[in-house]
Amino acid sequence: MTLDIAIVTYNRLEKLKKALHHYEQQTSAFRNLIIVNNGSTDGTGEFLKEYCSQEHDKFQTVLINTDENLGGSGGFYLGQKKALELNADWVMVADDDAYAAPDMVKQFYNFIEHHDSSRISAVCAAVHNIDGSICDYHRRRVTLTSTKGKGLLNKISLDYNSTPVDISEYEKEYFKIDLLSYVGAFLNITALRKIGLVNDKYFIYCDDSEHSFRLQKFGDIIVAPHIIITHEGGAEKKNDNNIIITWVEYYMIRNHMHTLIHHHPRTIIKKYIEQLRCTIGAWLHHPTILINEKVERDAMWDALWGRLGKHPIYKPGWEVTK
């Protein structure tokens, strides 16, 4: 069995160095460490050129440099594609701020050795916070319920809800989930050949959720809590009360809606009707919130018509302040 690991990095050189150190410290070797440098401008390219020219005990390196930032989805697409081209059996995906436990690879090998993986699409590590606690939002389940109330609209629509798996389940040997994140997720290459790679047009956000729905068509998504990876995540974000809305909201709304349209279309009916009502209400009564409503409207209708990729206006750094 061959295992490749694909990580995506963008302008977080110090975190990348820390992540690489954790892969170097693995107690079991794996085949390739595929590093996608997503158009970094902070010296990452120069560092990786030197790093990948060296020999490493636990793995060989494969470096992919992009000319621009393709977002998480574009980066992970390239990493998964390279693993397929290299005929890996499994590929683990992770961010540059995710730090593998020393025995992460060994524990994955042990799990595969003792379980039939022919109908498993992914085996996920338990994601821990820096303090060692479980970071539960990375592993989720979905529930679909009938909407309450009378009328045709309620009869033909469903409510969608995704919630983190209860912490108590992490005491089990393994458990099934519906939605994974690309932090410590070991993807079965056979599944990827059947259902496809991540949608690289999402740019960022919800790409792993959409992929999860397709992965389930091949087999189960499993979490094995004894496989551990730590996620630092979000430390560089700053709160600014003067910011009204940013580019982030556009991609979160657009990609979430696009996912529902293609996998749970009955859950979007009421959402689009409510959005039309908001548009009319904002236009008539609340002109000061039109920018928020416009971003939401753009995102929802771009999702409906399949207009994906990097938006010409809502690019990283775009924001509206007070």
Q: What is the pLDDT of residues 110-137, one digit of tens each?
A: 999 999 999 999 999 999 999 999 999 9
**pLDDT one-digit tens code per residue, 161-188:** 999 999 999 999 999 999 999 999 999 9
Q: How far apart are CA 200 and CA 63, in angstroms?
A: 19
**pLDDT one-digit tens code per residue, 282-307:** 666 655 556 778 898 899 999 999 99
pLDDT interval class at 204 (50, 70, 90) = very high
Per-residue model confidence (pLDDT) at position 284: 61
Per-residue model confidence (pLDDT) at position 235: 42
List all residues 6 or more positions away from 316 whose beta carbon is below 8 Å from its beta carbon: 69, 247
To the question of pTM greater than 0.95 for the whole model, the response is no
**What is the chain's mean pLDDT, rounded?**
92
Nearest to 216 by CA among 252, 173, 254, 259: 259
Answer CATH for 3-231 from 3.90.550.10, 3.40.50.300, 3.30.420.40, 3.40.50.2000: 3.90.550.10
Delimit the domains of the chain by residue range: 3-231, 243-321
Residue 123's CB is within 10 A of a number of other CB atoms, namely 26
